[in-house]
Each structure stands twice: as C-alpha cells, then as structure tokens.
C-alpha cells in the first residue's frame, strides 16, 4: 500500500498533472456557477480533450472538473437562488437568505471553507480506508438501500417550520408522485404520461429544481410590489459584506464540518447515493439535532444550515470514487461518465485496478487533496468579483436569472416541451410558496422516489414478496430504527413543549 501511495504521489505532482488539476478546478468552478450546466456536461466535454493523455492525467482532469463544479455550484445558489448543480440545492436554503441580509461575502466564504474542509477530510478518509470501504459498500443489498432512502425521507422535518410538518409531508408525497412519471423501470411500460412522448423519460430533476427555485423566485420578485422594505432588501443584496468569520462562527462551524464530512463521505461511498442526497441528509441531521432556538434560524441564514450541505456534498464527491475505482460500480451519473472514459483509455475500474495500476488509483486520490487547496486559493480572492452579480439592478438581474434558468434546461434536451413544463411548474410553485408550502421536501421526495421504488421491487423479488427483508438483515433494521427515531423525535419535542405550556397556564392565571 505504501509503495502504491508513493507511486501515486510521484504521478500526481508531475507538472502536467498539477496543471490539469488547476485547469479542471477552474473550468469546473466556472461551469458549476452557470445554472443548468452540471459536472456531467462538463466531464462529457472533457472526454475528447483527454484522449491523447495518460489515463492518470485524464482522470485527474475530470476529477478536478467534478469537485470544481460542485464547489462552484454553491455560488449561484447563494447569490441568485439558482442552484448550479443538484448537489447545491440545499445550499440555497440558508445561503440565499444570508445574501439577502447583506452577508453574501460571508456566505461565500463559509461555503469555500466548508467545501475545502469536507473535500480534504474525505480525501484523507479515501487515502486510508478505500480498500476496506469497498467491501462495506459491496455488502449493501437492495433492502439496505431502501432503508437508506427511508432514512433520507425522514429529513423532511428539517424543511418544515413550526407547525408545518403536515405541509412538508404533503410536499414530499407530491415529489414521490412526480418521480413515478415516465417509463416503469420493471415493466418497461409508460405510466402517467397522458400519451405524451415527451414524458416517456420522466421529468428532469434540473427542470424541477430550476423552476421551483430560480424561476419562481425571479417571477416572485416581479410580482412583489415595490415597497421601502423591498428597497432595503435590494440595498442589502448589493452589499458584499465582510468575508471575515468571528471566533464564535468558527466554533459553530467546526463540529458541523466534522459530522457532515463523515456523513457525506459514507453516503458518497454507497453506489447510487451521491452529493445531492448527502447534502440533504446533512442539512436534515443538523436541523434535527439543533436546539429549539437554533432551529428557528434554519431557512433564514443559519451558519449551520449553510455549512452542513456544503461540507457534505464535497465529501460525497470524494466518497463516490470508492465504488468507481475499487468495484467498477459508478455511484452517480457523473462517475458513470468517468467510468466510460476510463474504459475508453483501456483501464478497467474494479478490484484489480488497485493491484495492476496503483499509480492511477492513488494519483487520483492524492490529486483530490491538491485540488481542494487549488479551489480554495482560486475562489477566495475571486469572491469580491463574483459577488458583483448582486450589484446588478433588479431590472437586469431578474431577466438574467430567467434566461439562464430557461436556456440551461433547454440546452440539456433541446426540447421546447421542457420550457412549457418549466413555466407550468414555476406557476404551481409560486402558488404553493404563497400558501407557505416548502419546496425542498418535494425535491427530496422526487430524488429519492425512483430509487426507493427500484430497490423496494428488487428486495421484494429476492424475498418472494415478503416484507421480512425489513428486519432480517441487521444493517436494514438499524437504519429503519434510526429513521423511526428521527420521525418520532420532533413529535416528542412538540408534545413536551405543549405539556410545558399547558402547565404554565394555571400559574399565569393565579398571578
């Protein structure tokens, strides 16, 4: 192992590979900032460029683009509430409110430090534990994945305000319903498509995310009457604010970074999970363990609410390389594209890669650590210039958001039907937002719905239609018990608060 690490280190620090790390990080960051263009698109564009390269060099470039895009995606989430990539949707929940308060610089700095910390900690985990984690991820079966998806859905309480759990559950179910539109993965027949060929492949996550967040936010800006409060908000948005973090804020961030790095990395290790699920899980975990006072800050510019998803999504990026490199199983769409590129180089990802081509395996892992340093050095000095987006007047910023939202979705499929669906989804989202329904649970249900269905069907087939798979395996049972605890804990908290208030009423009356 030590020989492999030294071989990888000598490969990673070669001038050509160091240059590829810088180019990949810069290109990925820029592409991630543009709503609609994600790491999959970026890596697909890089494949023809890397054909003449050594496999290690090509993979290092694509890895740099991958975590650079996740790193850069937080910028548009924070500044204009338009998540650049799916993994940064949760970043917008507290990042954008901070920008509205005139703390855009601080929000971007927190995102930068969190991303760096999460990526670095995960890279160290990857260096130490990759071979062992491969066997752990391989031991997961369909029933375990179904339980993991259930655990993900229990994070719904994290997106519900006080007394709004029912609304959050309703939106989650709505998201699961939307995920069933398209072709049945088992039977191969169309369902809920209303005879439209455009819905055969289902609804795009990008379309849903951009319409419910970016497009609806831009349209709400137009619909809101111009008042003094709105003018004050615009002034706050135009100011960058200080990028410095106080000692108290750093103390808040450190334990969150530690927890979210571990959660994000292990989520990324599991094939089929990824940065998006990791960010939602981390946000939900922090919201659930927060005190009653801290919970009120979530969704309004909470430091914990911004740190958790930004740490987790970068940690998950590093973790997703474990199943790719050690098992030959792509854990996400992005790593699937990378796997195709590796095979085209004549490199077969899998258990033999660790033995036969250790320089490829270890050079990629070591380049991740270098890449995180490059990203921090690149992005921190650029924050004042990036935040100039906020200085744009509303008359320019709103059309800018509308243009990138619509054109970003259109460029993925070149289908005008997606534009029509996007406008319809944005109109529905505006109505729901005005009725105070949270959008995040719907996206969470949509992301996890299809994976839940697929793994539930596989588990039922293995167990001959019996539900015994829920308690036969210890891993499945433990995950489901944790899910139940997460579901019951908020209810117990609300009941305890109700009883406390009820006991206080007679005392108030006697006084």
DSSP string for residues in 395-463? HHHHHHHHHHHHHHHHHHH--HHHHHHHHHHHHHHHHHHHTT--SHHHHHHHHHHHHHHHHHHHHHHHT
**Higher per-residue pLDDT: 492 or 190:** 190
Report the C-alpha gap between 168 and 208 in whole angstroms.
17
Report which of 304, 244, 341, 327 is spatially closest to residue 90, judged by C-alpha positions: 304
Run of H or E residues at 183: strand 182-183
For residue 436, with 0-12 CB atoms within 10 Å meaning exposed, 13-18 middle and 19 or more buried, which class applies? Answer: exposed
Return the DSSP state at 86.
Answer: G
Q: Does 485 fall in a domain? A: yes
Rounded Cα gap, residues 115 and 445, in angstroms = 25
Residue 94 lies in a domain: yes
Under 8 Å between Cβ of 84 and 35: yes
How many domains, the chain?
1
Q: Is residue 507 domain-resident?
A: no
Cβ(333)–Cβ(314) below 8 Å: no
Question: Considering the domain boundaries, does residue 211 fall inside one?
Answer: yes
Which pLDDT value is given to residue 237?
Answer: 47
- 14: Cβ–Cβ under 8 A, 6 or more apart, which residues? none
Question: What is the distance of C-alpha 60 from the center of its chain?
Answer: 22
Residue 501 lies in a domain: no
Q: Which pLDDT band, with edges at 50, 70 and 90, does 227 fall under? A: very low
Helix, strand or coil for residue 141? coil
Place of tokens 């998803």: 309
pLDDT for res 256? 92
64, 318 Cβ separation under 8 angstroms: no
Domain housing 197: 1-495
Q: Is the pLDDT of residue 182 over 80?
A: yes
3-state secondary structure of 182: strand
Tell me the H-state helices in 239-302: 247-269, 275-289, 292-295
| Locus of tokens 């949509």 | 446
d(CA 63, CA 325): 12
Contact 186, 457 (CB under 8 A): yes
On whether the CB atoms of residues 179 and 202 are closer than 8 A, the answer is: yes
For the record, the structure tokens of 315 come out as: 């940690």
- Digit-coded pLDDT (tens) for 122-173: 888 877 776 676 566 667 777 877 887 787 777 666 556 556 777 888 888 8
Q: Is residue 511 part of a domain?
A: no
Please tell me the distance from the alpha carbon of residue 300 to that of residue 306, in angstroms, as a whole number. Answer: 10
Q: Give the pLDDT of residue 493.
A: 65
Is the residue at 443 inside a domain?
A: yes
Q: What is the rounded distance in angstroms from the CA atom of residue 18 to the CA atom of residue 9? A: 11
* Percent of the chain whose predicted confidence (pLDDT) is above 70: 80
Q: What is the pTM for the complete model shown?
A: 0.68
The answer to the question of residue 503 being in a domain is no
Helical (H) or strand (E) element with 190: strand 190-191
Round to whole Å and give the CA distance between 277 and 309.
10
User: Per-residue pLDDT tens for 321-362?
Assistant: 777 777 666 656 677 677 777 776 777 776 667 667 777 778
What's the CA gap between 72 and 392, in Å, rounded?
20
DSSP secondary-structure letter at 327? I
Q: Which residues pair with 183 in a beta bridge?
A: 190
pLDDT for res 4: 67
The rounded distance, in Å, linking the Cα atoms of 394 and 58 is 42
Q: How confident is the model at residue 375, as a pLDDT?
A: 84
């Amino acid at each position: 192992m030590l020989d492999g690490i030294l071989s990888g280190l000598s490969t990673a620090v070669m001038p050509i590979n160091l240059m590829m790390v810088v180019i990949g990080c810069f290109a990925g960051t820029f592409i991630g900032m543009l709503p609609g263009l994600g790491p999959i698109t970026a890596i697909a564009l890089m494949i023809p460029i890397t054909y003449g390269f050594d496999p290690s060099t090509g993979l290092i470039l694509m890895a740099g683009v991958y975590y650079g895009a996740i790193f850069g995606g937080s910028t548009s989430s924070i500044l204009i509430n338009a998540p650049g990539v799916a993994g940064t949707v949760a970043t917008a929940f507290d990042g954008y409110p901070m920008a509205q308060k005139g703390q855009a610089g601080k929000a971007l700095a927190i995102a930068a430090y969190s991303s760096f910390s999460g990526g670095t900690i995960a890279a160290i985990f990857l260096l130490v534990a990759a071979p062992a984690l491969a066997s752990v991820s391989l031991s997961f079966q369909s029933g375990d994945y179904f339980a993991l998806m259930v655990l993900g859905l229990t994070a719904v309480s994290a997106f519900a305000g006080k007394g709004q759990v029912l609304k959050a559950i309703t939106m989650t179910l709505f998201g699961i319903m939307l995920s069933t539109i398209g072709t049945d993965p088992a039977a191969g027949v169309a369902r809920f498509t209303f005879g439209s060929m455009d819905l055969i492949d289902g609804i795009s996550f990008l379309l849903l995310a951009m319409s419910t967040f970016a497009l609806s936010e831009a349209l709400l800006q137009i619909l809101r009457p111009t008042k003094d409060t709105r003018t004050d908000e615009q002034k706050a948005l135009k100011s960058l604010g200080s990028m410095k973090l106080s000692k108290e804020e750093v103390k808040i961030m450190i334990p969150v970074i530690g927890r979210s790095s571990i959660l994000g990395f292990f989520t990324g290790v599991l094939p089929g999970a990824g940065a998006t699920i990791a960010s939602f899980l981390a946000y939900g975990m922090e919201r659930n363990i927060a005190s009653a006072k801290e919970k009120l800050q979530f969704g309004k510019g909470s430091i914990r609410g911004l740190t958790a998803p930004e740490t987790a999504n970068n940690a998950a990026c590093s973790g997703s390389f474990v199943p790719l490199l050690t098992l030959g199983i792509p854990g996400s769409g992005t790593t699937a594209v990378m796997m195709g590129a590796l095979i085209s180089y004549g490199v077969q990802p899998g258990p033999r890669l660790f033995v036969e081509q250790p320089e490829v395996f270890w050079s990629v892992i070591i380049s991740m650590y270098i890449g995180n340093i490059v990203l921090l050095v690149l992005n921190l000095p650029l924050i004042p210039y990036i935040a100039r987006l906020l200085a744009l007047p509303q008359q320019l910023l709103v059309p800018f958001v509308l243009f990138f939202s619509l054109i970003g979705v259109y460029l993925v499929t070149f289908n005008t039907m997606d534009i029509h669906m996007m406008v319809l989804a944005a109109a529905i989202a505006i109505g729901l937002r005005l009725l105070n329904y949270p959008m995040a649970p719907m996206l969470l249900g949509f992301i996890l719905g299809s994976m839940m269905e697929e793994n539930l069907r596989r588990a039922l087939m293995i167990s001959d239609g019996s539900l015994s798979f829920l308690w036969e395996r210890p891993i499945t049972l433990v995950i489901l018990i944790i899910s139940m605890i997460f579901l019951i804990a908020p209810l117990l908290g609300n009941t305890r608060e109700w009883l406390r208030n009820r006991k206080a009423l007679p005392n108030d009356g006697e006084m």
